[in-house]
Amino acid sequence: FVPSFGILGIGGVVALVIGSVILMDTEVPEMLISRQLIGAIGAVSALMMLGILLMVRRSLRIPRLASNKAMVGLTAVVVAVLFLLALFFAPRASMVPVFATAPALLYVATLMTSGLSQIDWGDITDAAPALVTALAMPLTFSIANGIALGFITYVAIKLVSGRYQQLNAALVAIAVLFVLKFAFLG
């Protein structure tokens, strides 16, 4: 459900409402949920999706910063402070049900995909690892596994194509560690 929420967002809201009406139509009084509550949850979900889509559209107008330009000065300090605050709130995040995080995941996915426009799609040795990374994240249900497969693919393609001079020791070491992780830890 979560990986396809962005593609099937409207369908997800419709399925939530119809499924809730069907499942909660019972004779057991403890299982009854009012149709007004189901409609309100569906309306709020639809409004949240609309809000996210509007934020995404607005973010497309903002110039993107890449590399070191994005993390200098006050921006880096703010990010560091927010990460420290996140340590305090992390245990409380487990109280949020998984289905409630879908709109946030959709927004994060949109932000992550905006970086795909900066890839040199004419160079297959750069484009293929980026594509593997982007596809592996939703298919494996793990951002970490997607990044790992991207590292492995990047190093493998550069070695096979004879462009090993574009690699450095850190890239190769990380790719080898990811291969060992998949081989021994699954």
26's enclosing H/E stretch is none
110-166 residue pLDDT tens: 777 778 888 888 888 888 999 998 888 878 877 888 889 999 999 999 999 999 888
Contact present, 157 and 133 (Cβ < 8 Å)? no
pLDDT, one tens digit per residue, over 70-95 is 556 677 778 788 888 877 777 776 77
Distance separating alpha carbons of residues 101 and 157, to the nearest angstrom: 35
The residue to which tokens 């639809």 are assigned = 46
